[in-house]
Amino acid sequence: MLRAVICKGDRTSHGGEVIEGDDTCTTDGRAITRRGHMTFCPQCKGKFPIDDGIASFMFGDAVVVDGMKAACGATIIASQHAMLIDDGAGEGGEPAAEKASAPENSDLLASFLVVAEGTGLPLSGIRYSIVLPDGSSRQGVTDADGRTMALTAHERATATLQLGGDTPSDGA
**Nearest Cα residue to 127 out of 170, 151, 162, 83:** 162
pLDDT, averaged per 10 consecutive residues of the chain (172 residues), comes to 89 96 86 94 96 73 91 94 72 37 48 77 86 84 83 71 62 40
Distance separating alpha carbons of residues 49 and 68, to the nearest angstrom: 12
Cα–Cα distance for residue pair 157/109, rounded to 1 Å: 11
Query: b/e string for 31-57 if b means 16 or more Cβ within 10 A?
Result: bbbbbebbbbbeebeeebebebbbebb
Domain locations in the chain? 2-86, 108-163
The beta-carbon contacts of 113-119 under 8 Å, at least 24 apart in sequence, are: 113/2, 113/84, 113/86, 113/145, 113/146, 113/147, 113/148, 114/142, 114/146, 114/147, 114/148, 114/161, 114/163, 115/2, 115/81, 115/82, 115/84, 115/146, 117/80, 117/81, 117/82, 118/81, 119/81
**Dist. CA 124–CA 127, nearest whole Å:** 9
Q: Is the pTM of this model over 0.75?
A: no
pLDDT (tens digit per residue) in 30-63: 999 999 999 999 999 999 999 988 876 556 678 9
Q: How far apart are CA 78 and CA 12, in angstroms?
A: 9
Looking at residue 167, its pLDDT comes to 44
> Could you report the per-residue pLDDT of 158-171, keeping only the tens digit for each?
778 888 865 444 44
CA distance 145 to 21: 29
pLDDT at 66: 92
Indicate the fold that domain 2-86 takes in CATH: Tumour Suppressor Smad4 (2.60.200)
